[in-house]
Structure 1
């Protein structure tokens, strides 16, 4: 059976689980956590030398790292990757935005404030920087979602899964989502899309 190695409380690890749930594909979840050093254990780094989760292991033993690469692979031939070339490129654009301009601030600030092993890194300077840049990312999202219901255009796509993962828990990082009405409306649309499961869902 397909296996996803990951952390139940990680947004990046939530992305492939949510996608698999939407596709109705069975898989096995194996908890491997950075909190207890599990991602640095020899048995895991033999599979992923980068020592990070999630990690996708196919039935035939092939491995795939990076959550957004998993979304693109799983989305092939489904409604989650637009057929229109421009809308497909927009989906890619927002996947890159998520990893470079969103996750490093919104996800990291949440981790600094909620994960005990990260609190030593929660300096006032870092908290201020992640708050500032996380809000910048939310403003960019707000502007886009005032123009279109979803990030790649009129239909739900992998870009929405990627950005939903940490946006919906941004409040845990001290972000005031109520200041972003278009983002709030989009979160509701994502949650109404068929096959939605919450972040703590495991098979």
Structure 2
């Protein structure tokens, strides 16, 4: 199978991390969004939405959206709970990640880490701080009750949220305010076959 993505993207890193944890072999195809790699005719045939990451199977089938790919890759593994309610809780956290977490923390990281907070995006950056801290507070509260987001065993919910949370400081979020999150980050980093995000 092939993964198409940008190694500095949290959404793309999710795939690398789950594949490493589950020892899934794959070919990585690095794309440069700024260079227009996702707007080429060949890429748009794979994903008309023009976004990464995508998964291409050996038979040519293609799957997009990072959390959908995580669910596919982890199906039947210990990263997906067998209990229907707990599986629904995993999905709950993944929807939370896409709607209440990523739009704030990932965007703030992009504005600060990649653009150095240009003047014309200062107000946007500051507004993202509010939503990002709200999301981190929700996670902090849950991780004060359980070791991982859905109980005491890691799931793809944790992988979904780990991707951008562990680099949230690159978006101006001071994680020392969230000791439960810091402990959770460390637990994930200590897992067998953990793969760190590639540095710039």
Stretches of structure 2 lacking an aligned partner (at least 5 in a row): none
User: Which of 141, 144, 169 pairs up with 1:143?
Assistant: 141
- Report the equivalent of 1:28: 27
- Report the equivalent of 1:70: 69
Give the secondary-structure state (helix, strand or coil) at the position aligned to 1:123: helix
* Stretches (4+) displaced over 4 A: 118-122
- Report the equivalent of 1:108: 107
- Report the equivalent of 1:193: 191
Provide Cα deviations, 1:123-145, integer angstroms capped at 9, x if missing partner.
22201110110000000000010
Superposition map of 1:16-165 within 5 A = 16-116=15-115, 123-165=121-163
CA distance in structure 2 between the partners assigned to 1:192 and 1:112 by the alignment: 30
CA distance in structure 2 between the partners assigned to 1:29 and 1:52 by the alignment: 16
Superposition map of 1:167-182 within 5 A = 167-182=165-180
Stretches of structure 1 lacking an aligned partner (at least 5 in a row): none
Q: CA deviation at 1:33?
A: 2.1
CA distance in structure 1 between the partners assigned to 2:56 and 2:118 by the alignment: 33
- Report the equivalent of 2:6: 7
What RMSD in Å do the two structures reach over aligned CA positions? 1.4
Give the secondary-structure state (helix, strand or coil) at the position aligned to 2:46: coil
Q: TM-score, length-normalised on structure 1?
A: 0.94
Note closer, same or farther for the CA distance 1:176–1:131 as it changes in structure 2 (3 Å cut).
same
Note closer, same or farther for the CA distance 1:111–1:99 as it changes in structure 2 (3 Å cut).
same
Give the secondary-structure state (helix, strand or coil) at the position aligned to 2:3: strand
Q: CA deviation at 1:62?
A: 0.5
Q: CA deviation at 1:121?
A: 8.2
